């Protein structure tokens, strides 16, 4: 039985070496730990994030015309082309929904929100706390390209 041990160790070492290097990329539509999702299709990046409106500062809440409340969740979606300061908005049709742990699905009405030269899509949904919401965001660009992002986010009383 001893002659097999060195061979087994060699195979195990080779398998571990094969597992090294860069980890496989995460699915583009899911970043559940951060409460946001991102997908890149060609040169267009779509980002979606959700947060309790009570965490917004007064100026932002006023700009977005959203009441600050622990039980109100804001969904923010950005569709951009380019990178960094060269980013430009890409017009799209955005629809979204949130599903709680109890299974109740709620549509989130989305509206366009301009901030300077950039265009975002904003919607709110009320929830009970604590709650885990699963968001589904559908984005259809003017050229017909379609993307769906799904992510989870937990919300607690603050």
pLDDT attached to residue 27: 39
Which residues share a beta bridge with 139? 94, 147
> Which domains are assigned to the chain?
32-155 (2.60.40.3340)
pLDDT attached to residue 34: 55
> Which residue, chain included where needed, has tokens 């094969």?
18
Query: 26 or 57, which is more confident?
Result: 57
**pLDDT confidence of 73, banded at 50, 70, 90?**
very high
User: What is the spatial distance between Cα 46 and Cα 29, in angstroms, rounded to a whole number?
Assistant: 9
Q: Report DSSP state, residue 146.
A: E
pLDDT digits (tens, 9 = 90+) for 94-146: 999 999 988 889 999 999 999 889 999 999 999 999 999 999 999 999 999 99
Q: Cβ-count burial of 10 within 10 angstroms (0-12 exposed, 13-18 middle, 19+ buried)?
A: exposed
What is the chain's mean pLDDT, rounded? 83
Predicted TM-score (pTM) of the model is 0.77
pLDDT attached to residue 13: 38
Q: Among 16-30, 111-125, 140-154, which stretch is predicted with the lowest mean pLDDT? A: 16-30
User: What is the spatial distance between Cα 70 and Cα 14, in angstroms, rounded to a whole number?
Assistant: 52
Q: Cβ-count burial of 54 within 10 angstroms (0-12 exposed, 13-18 middle, 19+ buried)?
A: middle
Q: Where are the beta strands (DSSP E) in the chain?
A: 36-41, 44-52, 72-81, 88-89, 92-99, 105-108, 111-115, 118-126, 131-141, 146-155
Q: Is the pLDDT of residue 147 over 70?
A: yes
In terms of Cα–Cα distance, which of 27, 54, 53 is closest to 151? Answer: 27
Query: 132 or 23, which is more confident?
Result: 132
């Amino acid at each position: 039985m001893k002659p097999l041990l060195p061979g087994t160790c060699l195979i195990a070492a080779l398998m571990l070496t094969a597992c090294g290097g860069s980890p496989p990329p995460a699915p583009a539509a899911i970043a559940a730990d951060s409460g946001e999702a991102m997908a890149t299709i060609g040169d267009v990046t779509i980002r979606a994030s959700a947060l309790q409106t009570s965490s917004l500062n007064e100026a932002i809440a006023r700009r977005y015309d959203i009441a600050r409340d622990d039980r109100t969740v804001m969904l923010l979606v950005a569709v951009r082309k380019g990178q960094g300061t060269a980013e430009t908005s890409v017009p799209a049709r955005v629809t979204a929904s949130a599903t709680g742990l109890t299974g109740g699905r709620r549509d989130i009405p989305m509206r366009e929100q301009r901030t300077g030269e950039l265009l975002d899509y904003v919607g709110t949904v009320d929830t009970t706390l604590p709650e885990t919401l699963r968001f589904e965001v559908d984005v259809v660009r003017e050229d017909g390209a379609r993307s769906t992002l799904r992510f989870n986010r937990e919300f607690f009383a603050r």
